Structure formats: structure tokens, C-alpha cells
């Protein structure tokens, strides 16, 4: 449980880097969820909560991208290196190798 708690906080710090509002909101939400479940004794419920927490960490790490408003009609995306993937161009008629 402690390992997942620490992992969520590390992921939060990486995903929301330089965004103090998002960092604080995520910190509060993580702490609140763990605090609300700290008296849970059912092994089945604990395993379910751990699975949900792990899923949330994966979604944060793989799906969330930061954006910054630069003008009233422009947004700049700030992707993390682990989100970038090699782009394979689309070809109507692929060539055989």
C-alpha cells in the first residue's frame, strides 16, 4: 500500500511538473483517498482499491499531457519524453520488403 502511495506521488510530480495548482490538487486527492480507506480490513476490498490505484497511476503516466495557454486562441502542448512515440507514416500501398 505504501509503495503505491509513493508511486502515485512520484507520478504526480512528474506529470504535473511546474503546475502548482494541479500538483496540490492531485496531492490532496491522493492523500484523501488513502485516508478514507486506511481502516479497510477486507482483503478483497484492499486488493480492489490497490488495483484502482495502480490503474490511476498508469492512466496518469500514459495519458495526461500538459498544455499552456499562450494567446486567447492558442494552446501549446508540453509532452513528456515517455509519451512520445515513433511515428509510422500511413501508406495507401505499402511496399514489400
Domain annotation covers residue 35: yes
What percent of the chain shows pLDDT beyond 70?
Answer: 98
Q: Give the count of domains, the chain.
A: 1
Domain annotation covers residue 7: yes
Domain annotation covers residue 41: yes
Domain annotation covers residue 14: yes
pLDDT of residue 97: 64
Alpha helices in the chain (DSSP H): 2-15, 20-36, 43-63
Instruction: Cell 509519451: give the residue.
Output: 83
Residue 60 lies in domain: 1-83
Domain annotation covers residue 92: no
Domain annotation covers residue 6: yes
Domain annotation covers residue 96: no
What percent of the chain shows pLDDT beyond 90?
Answer: 55
Kindly report, residue by residue over 51-72, the tens digit of the pLDDT. Answer: 999 999 999 988 888 888 888 8
Give the C-alpha distances (Å, rounded to integers) separating 44 from 3, 10, 48, 63.
18, 26, 6, 28
Amino acid at each position: 500500500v505504501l509503495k503505491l502511495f509513493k508511486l502515485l506521488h512520484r507520478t504526480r510530480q512528474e506529470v504535473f511538473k511546474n503546475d502548482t495548482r494541479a500538483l496540490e490538487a492531485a496531492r490532496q486527492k491522493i492523500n484523501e483517498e488513502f485516508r478514507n480507506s486506511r481502516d479497510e480490513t477486507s482483503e478483497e476490498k484492499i486488493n480492489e482499491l490497490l488495483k484502482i490505484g495502480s490503474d490511476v497511476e498508469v492512466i496518469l503516466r500514459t495519458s495526461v499531457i500538459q498544455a499552456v495557454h499562450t494567446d486567447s486562441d492558442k494552446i501549446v502542448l508540453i509532452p513528456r519524453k515517455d509519451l512520445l512515440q515513433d511515428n509510422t507514416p500511413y501508406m495507401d500501398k505499402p511496399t514489400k520488403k
